[in-house]
Chains A and B, each alone.
Chain A
Amino acid sequence: MTPSAPVAFPDIQWLQLAPIIVVLGAAAIEVLVEAFAPRTSRRSIQIGLTFAALIVAFAIIVINAGTFQLVVAGSAAVDGPALFLQGAVVLTALLVALLMMERKVDPSGDAFAARASAMPGSEDERQFTARGYLQTEIWPLFLFCTGGMMLFLSANDLLLMFIGLEIMSLPLYLLAGMARRRRLLSQEAAMKYFLLGAFSSAFFLYGAALIYGFAGTVSFGGIADAVVGQSQMSGLLLGGIVLLCVGMFFKVAAVPFHEWAPDVYQGSPTPVTAYMAAGVKVAAFGAFLRLMYVAFGGEAWEWRPAFWVVAILTFFVGAMIGLAQSDIKRMLAYSSIAHAGFLLLGVMAVTPDSLSASMFYLLTYAIATVGAFGIVMLIRDDSGETTSLDAWRGLGRTHPLLATAFTIFLLSFAGIPLTAGFIGKFTLFASSAAAGEGWLVLLAVIASAIAAFFYLRVVVIMFFSDPVGSGPSVATPSWATQTTIVVALIVTVVLGLFPQAVLNIADHADVFVR
């Protein structure tokens, strides 16, 4: 067998890729820490490594600001949107990491099972809990997930995007099943998330295969050329787009592919839920935006009608079913579905303005979401968190500061001025109207009005109803959770009053590299 001609090796742009490398590298090192470090020091090493990796990654992202190039032979892009959203992911991850290390709200440890492998309700489990074991594998899993998100949203070909998707999702399936309390619910959530996630991955792969069949390449630039060059809509292309979108719709929880979200959000440990609602949404929409803008932007008028239907369904179903929820985590899940619907307006507009508006919206939504879940962690009874809305009665009387903070997050979700959510909504709707989708904006505001109603229900419960019995029992958190809530609060209010700086960054990052 004679070797063929020498292979052309790609250049590897180390600095541009450094944020992802740092995070994934740290995750690999953390696996080794699990293998070699003694049990007593494992947790502190893991936490230190995690924070160090995230901070270094963020610093490198800042250093890389302004980069606009394809890296590693065009398979990944380091451009404005990628850096902005990677930054958003890392910031979200930092806030979530603080929630994950919280040990004071649950008397028996953190939010995660002492030993996830022990059977729920078994003697083993009781012993592990009694000995105060803490699962430390969550930290490498968390970092792998974060690295996956960063890769996912900067991937510039279908294969790398799929790899990013999987690196992001697989650790999340595990993390979802690791709740310390209500473990069967948590395991059910993990199972559902895994099965539906795998299902959606299959859709995505099938779509990628069809697109390869159509374009003869998996790189977005190549696909875009093929899309523009064709004279007639090809079945392969259309089928490919549909299947890829179905995979993405699953990930962002758009109707009719949303059914998993409430169950999974409810069952997962709350910090993980926060990460799913915030981080995954940022990453998935980042990737979705890139896919639709770069690869299929030339064909926007063909796929847009389908998006109309999905977006309208998504924000209306999210808003209306959210009205009927009596569990705060499920309610926030439907809220996140409704927000996915609004964000789809940004995906289908395909203009630089809507890209920057979507990015700003994602950032504000993610930060407020983490803050809101941080507060959800604190409302507890003997059996753990009480997510039933009844437990929130009279919180405004007994804990006015906490209730005010939660109200501000809810107002931000509802898009009421003084909060970042309003600016996000305005920019998104204005850019969408500018893209000629005025009627869709009108429907979206009607859905927002309905959604506002269920956010207000919580405010009414907190402030205007009397506490039941001894009132909600609120755990006093450590500095970690406090920091998360306060930072999220400050960001939400400051971006609501003075958004200029961040809007400016988003405006300068509104073009995808091709």
Chain B
Amino acid sequence: MNVYIPILTLAGLAALFACFSVTMATFTGPKRYNRAKYDAYECGIEPTPQPVGGGKFPVKYYLTAMMFIIFDIEIVFLYPWAVYFDSLGLFGFLAMLLFLVNLTIPYVYEWRRGGLDWD
């Protein structure tokens, strides 16, 4: 059981700290309200307009970014494979082939469904 003592102590300390800071803040903190204080984010940035009936952002960036990540990872795997090609042999070759096929499937999907058309 004694292994639980540090955990329980820590949990107690954390709870104490949380309670302490919340209570102290209400008692000692200065209370000067203005419009910015009432905003959702106090740091001064305007909350983003809601997509519904508001602004739009192009979803294409996401598709491109995801494409990039897919091929990025592919390269990360392909380099070491190329270096160790000899010792990895047929097994490595087939495994890499399988990996590439799997990677191609979503690529084909995105291409066929118009993910690469910018307009």
Binding site for B on A (CB under 8 A): 1, 3-7, 9, 28, 31-32, 34-36, 117, 119-122, 233, 238, 242, 302, 305-306
Establish whether residues A238 and B3, one from each chain, have CB atoms under 8 Å apart when the complex forms.
yes
CB distance from A288 to the nearest CB of B (A): 20
CB distance from A393 to the nearest CB of B (A): 35
CA distance A31 to B108 in the complex (A): 9
Q: Using Cβ atoms and an 8 Å threshold, which residues of chain B touch A119?
A: 51-52
Q: Using Cβ atoms and an 8 Å threshold, which residues of chain B touch A302?
A: 3
Does B102 have its Cβ within 8 Å of any Cβ on chain A?
Answer: yes
The residue in chain A whose Cβ has the minimal distance to the Cβ of B59 is A117
- Chain A binder among B14-22, B37-45, B67-75, B81-89: B81-89
CB distance from A245 to the nearest CB of B (A): 12
CB distance from B5 to the nearest CB of A (A): 11
Q: Using Cβ atoms and an 8 Å threshold, which residues of chain A touch B113?
A: 34-35
CA distance A119 to B50 in the complex (A): 12
CB distance from A246 to the nearest CB of B (A): 12
| Given A6-B89, A238-B7, 12 extra CB contacts under 8 A | A3-B84, A7-B84, A7-B92, A31-B105, A31-B109, A34-B113, A35-B112, A117-B59, A119-B52, A121-B52, A122-B52, A238-B3
The residue in chain A whose Cβ has the minimal distance to the Cβ of B53 is A121
User: Which residue, of B51, B83, B88, B109, has the highest number of chain A Cβ atoms within 10 A?
Assistant: B109
CA distance A233 to B1 in the complex (A): 10
Interface size class for chain B? Answer: 20 to 34
Q: Using Cβ atoms and an 8 Å threshold, which residues of chain B touch A32?
A: 105, 108-109
User: Which residue, of A5, A35, A120, A306, has the highest number of chain B Cβ atoms within 10 A?
Assistant: A35
Establish whether residues B4 and A9, one from each chain, have CB atoms under 8 Å apart when the complex forms.
no
CA distance A3 to B91 in the complex (A): 16
The residue in chain A whose Cβ has the minimal distance to the Cβ of B1 is A305
Establish whether residues B87 and A35, one from each chain, have CB atoms under 8 Å apart when the complex forms.
no
Q: Using Cβ atoms and an 8 Å threshold, which residues of chain A touch B12?
A: none
CA distance A1 to B106 in the complex (A): 35
Q: Using Cβ atoms and an 8 Å threshold, which residues of chain A touch B105?
A: 28, 31-32
Question: Can you offer 12 A-B residue contacts whose CB atoms are under 8 A?
Answer: A3-B86, A4-B87, A7-B87, A31-B105, A31-B106, A32-B108, A34-B109, A35-B112, A119-B52, A238-B3, A305-B1, A305-B4
**Closest 10 CB pairs between A and B?**
A35-B112, A9-B91, A35-B109, A3-B87, A233-B3, A31-B109, A6-B87, A35-B108, A31-B105, A28-B105
CA distance A305 to B1 in the complex (A): 8
User: Which residue, of A32, A36, A121, has the highest number of chain B Cβ atoms within 10 A?
Assistant: A32
Establish whether residues B109 and A306, one from each chain, have CB atoms under 8 Å apart when the complex forms.
no
CB distance from B55 to the nearest CB of A (A): 12
Indicate whether A7 sits within 8 Å of B3 (C-beta atoms), given known contacts A1-B83, A28-B102: no
Q: Using Cβ atoms and an 8 Å threshold, which residues of chain B touch A1?
A: 83
Establish whether residues B83 and A7, one from each chain, have CB atoms under 8 Å apart when the complex forms.
no
User: Which residue, of B89, B102, B105, has the highest number of chain A Cβ atoms within 10 A?
Assistant: B105
Q: Using Cβ atoms and an 8 Å threshold, which residues of chain B touch A238?
A: 3, 7
